[in-house]
């Protein structure tokens, strides 16, 4: 067991920061990526690394670049295990990337929103979702698959909310809900790390009740789950296909 842990640790460290994660993850929305820059289909070029290399965890959260954004390997399809200290694959984000893809400000983002039907135990509700890259179609497909699960699992997909233009609590960074690419489920029954401590670097426990049957459906369609973060947010799923691309995920290496 110890050997397996050490072995996985080495692999996780060695699989970092590949520009290929972006071209594999976003298909034709990104036409080129190398260790200098990525080029979007719409013509925008973004730097792959930025000159300021943050050292502390708090600075990394605020100043991550595209390389850092894929520097922790997401364990797609893995069993539910408490993540290691500060292991938050997907939580380090380069905000200009999401603005370039989904809309630069509230007005531009809202132009890209469409509504999808989301099945619940009491009927269908409508949810606003970004249409860029087909995120709306993917979330619709997820809802249809969850509707096939037993009721004991489906109750965890109730109370769904998606778009809300806002910053992440206690930060200046936009939430992924602001771009219409994230969804929260079962808000009253799930767990959030800040209920233990408001400090990013505190040593906290891990708690989750979200069933893996739901998590795996989301991951199959390009969404990552906040329950795989040290700073757990178990109601939260967001569309981050770069982290589920073959060049980035650990799934092929286990």
The residues of the shown chain that bind Zn ion, judged by CB under 5 A, are 184, 236
Choose between 119 and 180: whose C-beta lies nearer to Zn ion: 180
Choose between 30 and 236: whose C-beta lies nearer to Zn ion: 236
Count helices and strands in the chain by DSSP H and E runs: 10, 8
Question: Residue 34 CB, nearest distance to Zn ion (Å)?
Answer: 32
In terms of Cα–Cα distance, which of 115, 228, 226 is closest to 175? 226
Distance CA(250)–CA(78), nearest Å, equals 9
Distance CA(9)–CA(169), nearest Å, equals 31
Choose between 184 and 242: whose C-beta lies nearer to Zn ion: 184
Which of helix, strand or coil describes residue 222? coil
Question: Residue 6 CB, nearest distance to Zn ion (Å)?
Answer: 33
Concatenated DSSP letters of 58-121: HHHHHH--HHHHTSS---TT----PPPTT--TTTS--HHHHHHHH-SSHHHHHHTEEEEEEEET
Question: Residue 194 CB, nearest distance to Zn ion (Å)?
Answer: 13
Question: Residue 113 CB, nearest distance to Zn ion (Å)?
Answer: 16
Name the percent of the chain in helix, strand, coil, to the closest 5. Answer: 40, 15, 45
Distance CA(105)–CA(138), nearest Å, equals 23
Residue 100: φ, ψ to 5°: -65, -40
Which of helix, strand or coil describes residue 249? coil
Choose between 149 and 186: whose C-beta lies nearer to Zn ion: 186
Question: Residue 157 CB, nearest distance to Zn ion (Å)?
Answer: 14
Question: Residue 176 CB, nearest distance to Zn ion (Å)?
Answer: 7
- 52: exposed, middle or buried (C-beta count within 10 Å: 0-12, 13-18, 19+)? exposed
Choose between 178 and 250: whose C-beta lies nearer to Zn ion: 178
Choose between 48 and 193: whose C-beta lies nearer to Zn ion: 193
The residue with its CB nearest to Zn ion is 236
- 168: exposed, middle or buried (C-beta count within 10 Å: 0-12, 13-18, 19+)? middle
Question: Residue 237 CB, nearest distance to Zn ion (Å)?
Answer: 8
């Amino acid at each position: 067991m110890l050997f397996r842990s050490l072995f996985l640790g080495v692999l996780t460290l060695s699989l970092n920061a590949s520009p290929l994660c972006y071209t594999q993850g976003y298909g034709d929305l990104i036409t080129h990526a190398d260790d200098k820059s990525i080029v979007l289909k719409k013509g925008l070029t973004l730097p792959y690394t930025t000159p300021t290399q943050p050292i502390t965890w708090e600075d990394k959260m605020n100043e991550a670049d595209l390389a850092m954004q894929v520097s922790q390997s997401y364990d797609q399809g893995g069993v539910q295990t408490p993540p290691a200290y500060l292991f938050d694959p997907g939580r380090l984000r380069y905000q200009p990337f999401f603005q370039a893809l989904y809309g630069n400000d509230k007005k531009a983002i809202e132009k890209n929103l469409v509504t999808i039907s989301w099945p619940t135990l009491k009927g269908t509700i409508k949810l606003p979702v970004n249409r860029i890259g087909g995120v709306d179609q993917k979330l619709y497909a997820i809802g249809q698959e969850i509707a096939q699960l037993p009721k004991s699992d489906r109750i965890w997909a109730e109370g769904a909310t998606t778009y809300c233009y806002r910053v992440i609590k206690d930060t200046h960074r936009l939430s992924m809900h602001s771009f219409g690419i994230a969804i929260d489920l079962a808000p009253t029954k799930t767990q959030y790390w800040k209920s233990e401590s408001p400090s990013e670097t505190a040593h906290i426990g891990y708690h989750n009740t979200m069933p893996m049957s739901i998590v795996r459906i989301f991951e199959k369609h390009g969404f990552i789950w906040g329950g795989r973060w040290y700073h757990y947010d178990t109601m939260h799923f967001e569309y981050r296909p770069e982290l589920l691309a073959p060049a980035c995920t650990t799934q092929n290496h286990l």
